[in-house]
Structure 1
Amino acid sequence: MTVMTGGCQCGRVRYEADIESDEAYLCHCRMCQRATGGVSIAFVNIPAENLRWQAEPDWYQSSPIAHRPFCARCGTPLGFAFLENGENVDITVGSFDDPSRFRPVHHYAVESIHEAWIDTRDLPRVRSEENESIRQRWMDACGKTPD
């Protein structure tokens, strides 16, 4: 068991989670697509008792059966939980301070999968610092590029 930390982009909402496994999954359901604006979302599923909010998130009921934690200040989606009888909670992989431990082990809700976004390994890759306009905006704003 490893204690891992995470939170939203602006830092207002923070959490600690006891993590037993490096397994994660990609959810492709339409609810997650709409909730995140993405074609899928990467989640780590953990027992709810293994999650401790250090600063409470905001919550919205995203369907008749579930609600989602998020930060109302910066908009970061933080997870998914059932309204009733939810022994587990899903936490967004990208909200962990160091998400590199996790690896996807399955796809969920494949009826809504967008196949063109699954295998992107042959697409050209561009590092953010290679975009001079963006790099300069960061340097002008705060003297460094983001982590």
Structure 2
Amino acid sequence: MAEQRMAGGCACGRIRFEAEVESVGAYLCHCRMCQRASGNVSLAMFNLPQANVRWTGEPDWYRSSPIAERPFCSACGTSLGFRYLEDTDKMDLTVAAFDDPSRFRPTSHFGAESMHREWLNTEGLPETRSDEYQRLNERWERAGAGPPS
């Protein structure tokens, strides 16, 4: 894949980034630090050189351990990534923070010792589209807004 620019940011729009992306291979991190930072069973991450990320609005940084920190938005709480404090020129951005996360593909797992396998293959479970859930649409309508895209 040729290098391309992809944009993303937090839920409220205060923090935006543009990244030079050379591939669409991403990974699922299952380590306990990512689970706790995201409040989820895993975190989809994309690794790239730090020099390939340009921030519009500097993110807040949370020192999540003695060896790493995580960019986030203190206004809306969006988790934006991860980086080690030293000995690397790389960092991770959260896949869902990109404007078009559908372009990425999972290629591996990390932190497999904390993996919750029952959450990996959910095929066959009932599926509900948010745009077809009437009570949700009624809430958006009462708020005078449309659902987020």
Q: State the Cα distance separating 1:100 from its structure 2 match.
A: 1.2
TM-score (norm 1): 0.97
Residue in 2 aligned with 1:103? Answer: 105
Gaps of 5+ in 2: none
Counterpart selection for 2:83 from 78, 81, 84: 81
Q: Distance in 2 between matches of 1:145 and 1:30?
A: 32
Number of residue equivalences: 147
Give 4+ residue runs of structure 1 displaced > 3 Å after superposition. none
Over the residues paired in the alignment, what is the CA RMSD in angstroms? Answer: 0.8
Structure 1 residue 146 displacement after superposition: 2.6
Q: TM-score by structure 2 length?
A: 0.96
Residue 5 (structure 1) aligns with: 7
SS in 2 for 1:34: helix
- Per the TM alignment, residue 132 of structure 1 is displaced from its structure 2 partner at its CA by 1.3
Q: Distance in 1 between matches of 2:145 and 2:73?
A: 27
* Unaligned segments of structure 1, at least 5 residues: none
CA distance in 1 between partners of 2:145 and 2:62 (Å): 36
Find the counterpart in structure 2 of residue 58 from structure 1.
60
Q: 2 CA distance for matches of 1:76 and 1:143? A: 21
Equivalence for 2:19: 17
**What residue number does 1:92 align with?**
94
Select which of 29, 33, 38 maps to 1:31: 33
Q: Secondary structure at the match of 2:75?
A: coil
User: Residue in 1 aligned with 2:144?
Assistant: 142
Partners of 1:29 and 1:111 within 8 A in 2? yes
Supply the distance in 1 between the matched residues of 2:108 and 2:15 (Cα, whole angstroms). Answer: 28
